[in-house]
Structure 1
């Protein structure tokens, strides 16, 4: 067997998330179906994280263990000819057997797009942004700083996934321009994330930036560790898994990383 690493992009609008579910349309299900056409046997696709229904990806990383008889297949071209229009393979590479798309990851980067204009929403952006209206950028920037570093994120984890610890390390959290003057993007990088943690952080930030809480509200929630006290989860459609970074596997390339793996990290 040879291990193949894929980098995928997908529009999550019409998917019930990444993870295979019987009778439901999932990214993993569509990918495994396409791979089976080529190999003639079932092959499990292991993703770097489990994105939820409606969540998009520009850099989902997947690994597959393929029969030796199929290593000469031009996998990018072959899979893109079989996959539906809302999934595409951006890159392929053979990797060592000890590479794991999830456990070898050292950092992940998610982006969340916010539409900050109240009077209209461009129709072609409606599945990719949260229309939240005008925001106080100073309050938003101040609040993001409270998330930086190692904290217990129990107040920002939704139920549904068992983890040994809710402590995570956020390395960077910043605001940058979006695709138009009516959007902003929040970009967060961490060594691992809890279930719907990014969407919960964004929900909290928007409440603060609307003037309904002080930026220090983030610190209070982190200290109290109580999900019931935190604001509602932001919609899935604004979230995108942007990059997954690795260490020595492809040091110096677009997937290079800086820290040791966090094996408890989960996707959004």
Structure 2
């Protein structure tokens, strides 16, 4: 067998997350949950000759329903006979339009997309106005009012570092520990496609979250907390109390899925 490392991009709107879910017995294709992992595996099966040749595709990050990606990483084993194939061209020829293979690499048999990852970067898009939103950004941002960025930055500094993030993970997470190391949380420049220099800038702000690893819905929970601070519903000092309390019920709401994008996953060779 030959192991491939895939870099994938997708829009999450029509997916029930990355991971294959339990299928409903006797249900038609349209009834069963549509997942990114599922459609990628089906694409491999089509190319390799049918469902009996369908390989398992292992993803690095189990993105939730509605979450997007431009840098999801996965690995898959394919028959040695298929090694010479241009897998990027072949897969993109059969995949649906909301998934693309950005890159294909041949890796050694020990590589594992999930367990070999060293750190991850997610971004979250905020639209700082309720008066309008650009149509092509509607499914990629959370519409909020103007926010107190200084207060958000003060709170973000408290969340950076190695902490127990039990208050920022949702139920359903199976993990040995809720301790994670956040390397940085900050707003970054957002360049709109087609923007003309000198034209009015759109009220969009992108926040970048980098960590050695994240818990279930952790980024969305952190973003929800920071927005609550930006709206004046919480003080930065309250965030420290929430973090120390390790109680999810004391933390603010989870930010909507559509604003979140998995940007990049780093490996030892990066």
TM-score normalised to structure 2 length: 0.90
Aligned to 1:192: 213
Question: Residue 177 of structure 1: CA displacement?
Answer: 2.6
1:87 aligns with 2:96: no
Q: Which aligned pairs between 1:124-135 and structure 2 lie closer than 5 A?
A: 124-135=136-147
Aligned to 2:46: 37
Q: Which moved more, 1:56-65 or 1:114-123?
A: 114-123
Aligned residues: 249
Q: Which aligned pairs between 1:68-217 and structure 2 lie closer than 5 A?
A: 68-178=80-190, 179=192, 181-217=202-238
* 3-state SS, counterpart of residue 3 of structure 1: strand
Question: Residue 153 of structure 1: CA displacement?
Answer: 0.2
Question: Residue 181 of structure 1: CA displacement?
Answer: 2.9
Aligned to 1:263: none
1:26 aligns with 2:35: yes
Q: Which aligned pairs between 1:223-238 and structure 2 lie closer than 5 A?
A: 223-238=244-259
For 1:123 and 1:65, how far apart are their aligned partners in 2?
A: 40
CA contact (8 A) 1:177 1:184 kept: yes
* 3-state SS, counterpart of residue 140 of structure 2: coil
CA contact (8 A) 1:118 1:134 kept: no
Q: Which runs of 5+ in 1 are unaligned?
A: 257-268
Higher alpha-carbon Rg: 2
Q: Deviations over 1:119-161 (max 9, x none)?
A: 1111221100000110011111111111111000000000012
**Runs ≥4 residues deviating over 3 A:** none
CA contact (8 A) 1:177 1:183 kept: no
Aligned to 2:17: 17
For 2:240 and 2:108, how far apart are their aligned partners in 1?
A: 42
Report the aligned-residue RMSD: 0.9
For 2:210 and 2:242, how far apart are their aligned partners in 1?
A: 20
Q: Which moved more, 1:55-64 or 1:33-42?
A: 33-42
CA contact (8 A) 1:76 1:90 kept: yes
1:50 aligns with 2:71: no
For 2:39 and 2:174, how far apart are their aligned partners in 1?
A: 26
* 3-state SS, counterpart of residue 12 of structure 1: coil
TM-score normalised to structure 1 length: 0.91
